[in-house]
Structure 1
Amino acid sequence: MYSAAPTFIYNGRFATQKTTGVQRVARELIVALGHLPDSGGVTVAVPPIPDLESVDGTNTVKIGFGKGIFWEQIVLPLFAGRHRIVNLSNSASIFRLNQVIYMHDAAVFDRPAHFSWRFRAWYKLMFWILARTSSCVVTNSDFSRKRLAYHCGVSPERIAVVPLGADHLDAVAPDESVLREHNLQSKRFVLAVSSMNPTKNFGRILEAFRQLNDPDMDLVIVGMKNSTVFGDVQDLQGVAPNIKAVGYISDEKLKALYQHAHCFVYPSIYEGFGIPPLEAMRSGCPVVVSNSSALPETCGDAALYCDPYSAEDIADKLRVLQQSPELRSTLIERGYAHAARFRWGASAESLRKVIGASRRDAS
C-alpha cells in the first residue's frame, strides 16, 4: 500500500459523511491536488465501510476497522505508520504529531451557544491540542486565522491562510425540474443556502421576508438539520405558503436555483469564509450578505451588505434589489469578475506550497 519513504495520506473520513461545506472543501481540495502537475497522485484513507465510493481521481484505500471518531482518532494514525496525515475537514487525531490540519473557523469558541455541548467541548479540546502539535495549521481567511490564534493561544504566524475555491459547480448541468417540483417562477424567489446552523440567521431571514410583504415572491431555503452538532433548530415547514424549505438537494438542482433566483441572501452572523455567496456569484445571482466576520473579506465589492442583527435592514436590502434593476445588473457583473478569482486549482497550489514548506521546516 505505501512506499518506503514517508508520503502524504489524506484523511478520508469526510467521504462517509453528508456533503456540506466542510466535506465539500476536503473533497474539492483533494481532487484539485491530484490534478496539479507532478502531483504523483493522491492517496485517501477511508474507513472500511461497504459500498463506500472512492474519491474521484484518487487512490482511495479502505484501512483498519471501525468508523467515525474512533476510526479517525485511533485507527487511522495506527495504520498510517510513518506517513504524514493531511486532514482537510476540520478534525484530526489528537494522538498524532507532525500532521497537517485545516481548521475552517473558530465558531465553537466565538459562538459556543450555537453548538451542542458535546460537540463544543470536543472541538475546543481538539483544536487547542492540534494547534500546538501539528506541523502545519491552515485556515481559509485572515479573519479565521486571527480568531483561531487568539482562542488556541498560538501566534497568528503559525497559521497559514489558503482561500477556498468556488468553481465546483461550473461543470454541473443545472436540473430545472426543481422549479416545477416547488412551483417556482424564474426571478420570483429569494434563495437562502446553508446548513441549519443557528449562526446562519434563519430567524431574521424569515422576519425580513415577512416585512418584504410580496405575495408574488417566494423564499426558498436550501439546507438540512443536524441536531447532533447544532442542537435544536426551528422547523421551517409550513411557516407560510410562499416560504419553501426544500432540504438537502443535488448540486444540479442547486445550480438551477442559483441561476433562476432573483437574489441570494446570506445574512450569516458568523462565517469563517463563505462559499455559497461565491457559488451564487458564479451563477449570475446577485447576493446580499452580512457585514460581519469573514464575509466582507470573501465578497469584496461584489455584494450588497446588510446588518445581520436587523431584520429591517435585511428586508431593506432585498427591497432595494427589487426596485433597482441597475444595481442588480451591477452586482451580477461584479460577482462574475470577483468569483472568478476563487478556483480550487489555485487553492490546491497554495496548499501544496504551505505543506511543502512545513515539511522542510520539520526536517
Structure 2
Amino acid sequence: MPKNILLEAHATLLKQGTGIATYARNLASTATGLGYDVELLIGTEQRINRRDPLLSEVVLNDAVDPKAIDPLKQVARAIDWTTGVPGGVKAQRLPAPRIVVDRGSGASTERSHPTYGAVRLWERASMHFNRFGHRMPVRSEGRHDLFHVTRPTPAFVKGAANIYTIHDIVPLRLPYATLDKKKYFYSMIKHLAEKADHIVTVSEFTRKDVQEFFKIPDDRITNTWQSVSMSEAALSVSDEEAARDVDNRYGLAFKEYFLFLGAIEPKKNISRLVEAYAASGSTRPLILVGGLGWLYEQDVEMLKDERLLSWRFDGSHIRPERRVQRLPYVPLGSLLSLIRGARGVLFPSLYEGFGLPILEAMMLGTPVITSNTSSLPEVAGDAAMLVNPYHIEEIRDAIRTLDADADLRAELVKRGRKRAEFFSPARHAERVKAVYDRVLG
C-alpha cells in the first residue's frame, strides 16, 4: 500500500499568497507525484458539524468580521492559555464541498486532496507549548505514516514519523526586524530539533544556520531547496500577451518598469531600495507588489517622499505621477505578466531562507538584482547582480547599470533560465523522496 502523508498546509488558506503557502502547495504536488497518498491538515475556527456537513462547509468558508467579539471563543482561548491542550486537538475529515462557490474561479469548490481540520491548530499548539514546554498531540481520524509540518509548529501525530520544515531563523538573526516572541521561537525550534524524526530546510544557508544554533547532527537535517511549479500555459504566454496585460491593467509599458515582490517589512529592505532607486535617476517607475507585513510604518512613510513624485504631460494636461507605486494584491496570472514584463526584479533583502522571487523572475526571463547575503547568492548563482543590501550606493549603481546595459540584461536572462533548471520540480522531487525514504524506511 502507498504510504500516507499528512501535510500541514494552513498557510494555503491565506488570502495573500506567501512563500510558505507556495512551498506547501508544491510539496503536496511533489509528494503526490511520487506516489504517496497525500492529505492536508488546516486550522479551522470550529469543529465539523457531522449532522449537517453541507452547513458545516458553509460555516468554514464564512466571512469573519475582525472586529466582532465572540464570548465563547474568548473563554475557550482563556482556557487553552491556562491549561494548554493536554488531550491534544482532534483532526476531523472535512466534507467534500459541493455548494460553496470558489472565490477565484466561480465554480463549485473542489479540494485537490482530502483535508482535515483541527480547531485553531496553530494558536492552540503555541498555547500548549507555552504551558507545558512540549509539542501538542494531533489526534487524526485517519491513518498517517508521516506528518510533515511546513512551518515550525509544536504539534505532532502519534504513531507517525514527524518532519518539520524550518525556512529561516530570522527572529534570532534579526530580532529587531520581527514581532515574533523570541524566547518562544527559540525554545520551540530547540524542542523541535530535539524531538523531530527529521528537520528539512530550503537552502544550504538555512541548514548551516540552524545547525549553528541548535547543534543538529548531519544525519537528522536535510536541505531540499525549493522549486516553483508553473503550468505550461503560464510559461507559454507570449511577450505580446504579457505586454497587453500589464498595459491594460496597470498602465505600464513592457520592460519599462522595475519590480519588487514581497511584503512591506523590515527584512525586505524597502527604505534602502527606494532611496537607491531615487538616487539612480531612473525615469522608469518602481512597482512594489505585496501587502503590509509588520513594522512597516517607516517604509510606508518613505513612499510618500516628494522626490518620488514626477509630472507627465498627456497632451492636454500636466498630471502628477508617483515614481514608486505599490500594488497590495495582484492575481496570480497578472503577477506572472508583471514579472515577465519588468525590466528587472529588484530584491535586495537583508535576510532570506530561500528567495522565491529570484527563482520566479529567472524562470520568466527577467534579470535580477539581489543581495550578497544569507541564502540569496546560493539561489542566484552567477545569474544575477549581487549587491551589499546595506550599501545604498551599491544598489543605486546596480540599478543604473542594469537600466542602461541591454547586453547585460540579455546575458542575465540567459543565465537565469539555466540557473532555474537546478531548482526544477523534478530535482526537488528527488530530494524530497530521499528524505521520505530515509524517515519511512
TM-score per shorter chain, which class? 0.7 to 0.9
1:46 maps to what in 2? 42
CA distance in 2, matches of 1:261, 1:193: 11
Q: Deviations 1:137-167 (Å, cap 9, x if unpaired)?
A: 0001111001011112323442101011123
CA separation of 1:47 and 1:106: change in aligned 2, threshold 3 A: closer
Which of the numbers 19, 25, 38 marks the counterpart of 2:17?
19
Q: Is the 8 A contact 1:266 1:287 kept in 2?
A: yes
Q: Which residues of structure 1 form unaligned runs of 5+?
A: none
Residue 281 of structure 1 pairs with residue 281 of structure 2? no
Moved more, 62-71 or 254-263: 62-71
Q: Is the 8 A contact 2:264 2:291 kept in 1?
A: yes
TM-score (norm: length of structure 1)? 0.87
Which of the numbers 109, 130, 134 marks the counterpart of 2:192?
130
Shift of 1:238: 4.0
Q: Which AA in structure 2 matches 1:22?
A: I
Shift of 1:278: 1.0
CA distance in 2, matches of 1:66, 1:321: 47
1:143 maps to what in 2? 205
Q: Deviations 1:53-74 (Å, cap 9, x if unpaired)?
A: 7786322x23343454227878
2:94 maps to what in 1? none
Q: Secondary structure at the match of 2:378?
A: helix
Q: Is the 8 A contact 1:196 1:233 kept in 2?
A: no
1:198-277 equivalence runs, <5 A: 198-214=266-282, 216-227=283-294, 234-235=299-300, 238-239=304-305, 240=308, 241-277=322-358
Q: Which residues of structure 2 form unaligned runs of 5+?
A: 46-59, 62-96, 103-108, 129-134, 309-321
Q: Is the 8 A contact 2:4 2:37 kept in 1?
A: no
CA separation of 1:55 and 1:100: change in aligned 2, threshold 3 A: farther
Shift of 1:93: 2.6
CA distance in 2, matches of 1:238, 1:64: 43
Shift of 1:94: 4.4
Shift of 1:178: 4.1
Q: Is the 8 A contact 1:63 1:79 kept in 2?
A: no
CA separation of 1:103 and 1:224: change in aligned 2, threshold 3 A: same
CA distance in 2, matches of 1:191, 1:256: 11
Q: Deviations 1:61-113 (Å, cap 9, x if unpaired)?
A: 23343454227878871226763453343122346674111111121211111
Which of the numbers 112, 120, 124 marks the counterpart of 1:57?
112
The 4+ residue runs of structure 1 with deviation greater than 6 A are 52-55, 71-76
Q: Secondary structure at the match of 1:101?
A: strand
CA separation of 1:71 and 1:80: change in aligned 2, threshold 3 A: farther
Q: Is the 8 A contact 1:287 1:303 kept in 2?
A: yes
Which of the numbers 28, 31, 46 marks the counterpart of 2:29?
31
1:1-363 equivalence runs, <5 A: 7-17=4-14, 18-36=16-34, 39-48=35-44, 50-51=60-61, 57-59=112-114, 61-70=115-124, 77-79=138-140, 83-94=144-155, 98-118=161-181, 120-168=182-230, 171-172=233-234, 176-214=244-282, 216-227=283-294, 234-235=299-300, 238-239=304-305, 240=308, 241-360=322-441
CA separation of 1:45 and 1:328: change in aligned 2, threshold 3 A: same
Shift of 1:132: 0.8
CA distance in 2, matches of 1:232, 1:96: 40
Larger Cα Rg: Structure 1 or Structure 2?
A: 2
Q: Which AA in structure 1 matches 2:437?
A: G
Q: Deviations 1:15-45 (Å, cap 9, x if unpaired)?
A: 3224211111111111122123xx1431112
Shift of 1:117: 4.2
Q: Deviations 1:248-302 (Å, cap 9, x if unpaired)?
A: 2111111111111111111111111111111001111001111111111111111
CA distance in 1, matches of 2:252, 2:25: 31
CA distance in 2, matches of 1:248, 1:233: 20
Superposition CA RMSD, Å = 2.7
Q: Is the 8 A contact 1:102 1:138 kept in 2?
A: yes
Moved more, 160-169 or 176-185: 176-185
CA distance in 1, matches of 2:193, 2:180: 21
Q: Deviations 1:311-336 (Å, cap 9, x if unpaired)?
A: 11111011111221111111111111
Query: Which is bigger in relative contact order (C-alpha 8 A, separation at least 6)?
Result: 1
CA distance in 2, matches of 1:291, 1:43: 38
TM-score (norm: length of structure 2)? 0.72
CA distance in 2, matches of 1:58, 1:262: 38
CA separation of 1:110 and 1:186: change in aligned 2, threshold 3 A: same
CA distance in 1, matches of 2:118, 2:277: 50
Alignment: residue pair count: 350
Q: Is the 8 A contact 2:267 2:349 kept in 1?
A: yes
CA separation of 1:92 and 1:170: change in aligned 2, threshold 3 A: farther
CA distance in 1, matches of 2:205, 2:387: 18
